[in-house]
Amino acid sequence: GAGVSQSPSNKVTEKGKDVELRCDPISGHTALYWYRQSLGQGLEFLIYFQGNSAPDKSGLPSDRFSAERTGGSVSTLTIQRTQQEDSAVYLCASSPGTSRLETQYFGPGTRLLVL
């Protein structure tokens, strides 16, 4: 079946603009995760969804970052007033359940460049 998809694959924006990144998880997967991959910080957890609720938002770096998930499926990560340090690859992953034992399946990522 189809894997996790993300759009856009690349996004170039100007400092101060808002951006929206989309994630389509594997159908039926309950859990959805957002991670950020940057040169200086490596791979960092941002936020986790269980269904439509987000029990763990501890990785969001500032209040400029927000995310939502609707219908237990698609998720959108929004970055307001983008800064150059937001430049990174944003990865989405989903898993069938919410247990720590579950394998997470990753999308190809959205590469964000803030000029």
Partner 1 sequence: AQSVTQLDSQVPVFEEAPVELRCNYSSSVSVYLFWYVQYPNQGLQLLLKYLSGSTLVKGINGFEAEFNKSQTSFHLRKPSVHISDTAEYFCAVSVGEGNTGKLIFGQGTTLQVKP
* Contact residues for partner 1, defined by CB under 8 A: 4, 31, 33, 35, 42-45, 48, 50, 55-56, 59, 91, 93, 95, 97-109
- Least separation in angstroms between residue 24's CB and partner 1 is 13
Q: How far is the CB of 64 from partner 1 (least distance, A)?
A: 21
- Tell me how far CA of residue 42 lies from CA of 24, 66, 72, in angstroms: 23, 20, 28
Decide whether 80 or 102 has the Cβ nearer to partner 1: 102
